[in-house]
Amino acid sequence: MTAEGKPFACLTCYDATTARRLARAGVHVLLVGDTAAEVVLGLPRTIDMPLEVLLALTAGVKRGAPEAVVMGDMPFMSYQADEGEAIRNAGRFLTEGLADIVKLEVDASFAGLVGKMSRAGIPVCAHIGSRPQRAAMSGGYAAAGRTAEDARSIVEDSSAMVRAGAKMLLIEAVPEEVTALVLPAVAREAEGRVVPVIGIGAGTACHGQVIVWQDLVGLTETPPRFAEPVADLGRAVEEAGRAWVDRVANRAIGGRGYAMRPGESERLRAGNTEDKSQTFPHPRMVEHKRGAR
């Protein structure tokens, strides 16, 4: 699609049921992001996302949407400390997590690692620009590339990642002027290869666009400034919950019940009227006898 100049759609996703629906809707790429820490597990930060949980969620999404491209997001400290461990963890996303590609939050200093992953046969999406896993370094989540120096650094990061072998880039929360410089830089370094660039809060020029699923459908309380909801599922979920509370209170839960097989109800009633004179030993007596043996 990038080669043909057709924008492609991405969304985060964290379960098979939602993945199945989004694939039917035509969403091309599903990102199993470390945002699951916040929107699924209720944790305060994305860096709290456990690796094992994210592997399981990624596999679930792929099983729900086998034809979609599924991207596994490598969580905090799954690739930063040791290159060997990073490659093994990335490999687990492809084998256990069934992912088609892994995403790492990187700058130019990670070029060596991205190169080794590529040589190992692991497709990498390099996440540049604003990097949420480094939010603690700046006191919170913030945009990137708002100064000329920072913008030039991001362009250099993009070039380094493509030279290292990244198959895709994701650029987050940068002004459109930065994206306008990154796209031709990626094309130059790709030397004829197609390296799609996905944007999130990076303007409309990117080859693909991604957003957090819960932000898109109105399930989050305070979505980021670049996330414009297209639905209000939050209110719909609350209304459905209230409707269920009312049904239960009125003993009118709806649906269809079950019936016994023909004749079984009569047998059940007849059995209840039979002689109940047979006695059974008290459970404590049974335990006592077992102990005696």
Distances (CA, A) of 71 to 36, 122, 123, 164, 275: 13, 12, 10, 19, 66
47: which 2 tokens? 């860096």
- DSSP H or E segment with residue 289: helix 283-292
Q: Please state the φ and ψ torsions of residue 141, each to the nearest 5 degrees.
A: -70, 135
Pairing, β 208-209 against β 197-200: parallel
Active-site annotation holds for 172:
yes
Distance between CA atoms of residues 153 and 160, nearest Å:
10
Q: Which of 67, 105, 156, 172 is catalytic?
A: 172
Q: Quote the longest CA-to-CA distance of the chain.
A: 93
Distances (CA, A) of 13 to 202, 222, 250: 20, 19, 36
Q: In sequence order, which residues have a C-beta less than 8 Å from that of residue 247 and are 6 or more positions away?
A: 253, 254
Q: Please state the φ and ψ torsions of residue 281, each to the nearest 5 degrees.
A: -65, 145
Distance between CA atoms of residues 122 and 165, nearest Å:
10
Burial of 214-237, coded b for 16+ CB within 10 Å and e otherwise, reads bbbbbbbeebeebbebeeebeeee
Distance between CA atoms of residues 73 and 41, nearest Å:
16
At 235 the three-state DSSP class reads helix
> Which residues have a catalytic role annotated?
172
